[in-house]
Amino acid sequence: QVHLVQSGTEVKKPGASMKISCKASGYAFTSFHIHWVRQAPGQGLEWMGLLNTLSGGKNYAQKFQGRVTMTRDTSTSTVYLELSSLRSEDTAIYYCAKDLTPASGSAPEFWGSGTLVTVSS
């Protein structure tokens, strides 16, 4: 049974950085890419990027280029999302999601429960 367990709520000041985690279990970790998606209050889902858990390769949405870093630790089946220079507009629930298709970035299939990050002075 697939599980994606995300780290807990965070509160950050503007200008700071965040690093949240997503620990996977129940499947072959390096066989499926991981997506990161966020939802700001009252807004829709926003795709942030994709991490190839086997090679470590990344594909970031243009909007976040220069501010986002996605990494993984294959020894613990954990992926990480770092976002720097935080501003109030980054207040959101951040979701990790396992890809539908092995070794392909087709689409998110199974989602974690989300991590709430609040950016406030």
Partner 1 sequence: SYELTQPPSVSVSPGQTARITCSGEALPKKVAFWYQHKSGQAPVLVIYDDIKRPSGIPERFSGSSSGTMATLIISGAQVEDDADYYCYSGDENDEHVAFGGGTRLTVL
Q: Which residues bind partner 1 (CB under 8 A)?
A: 37, 44-47, 61-63, 95, 97, 100, 106-114
CA 44 to chain centre: 16
CB of 73 to partner 1, least distance (A): 22
CB atoms within 10 A of CB 11: 12
DSSP string, 6-24: E---EEE-TT--EEEEEEE
Of the two residues 18 and 48, which places its CB atom closer to partner 1 in the complex?
Answer: 48
CB atoms within 10 A of CB 30: 16
Of the two residues 59 and 88, which places its CB atom closer to partner 1 in the complex?
Answer: 59
Of the two residues 17 and 113, which places its CB atom closer to partner 1 in the complex?
Answer: 113
CB of 115 to partner 1, least distance (A): 12
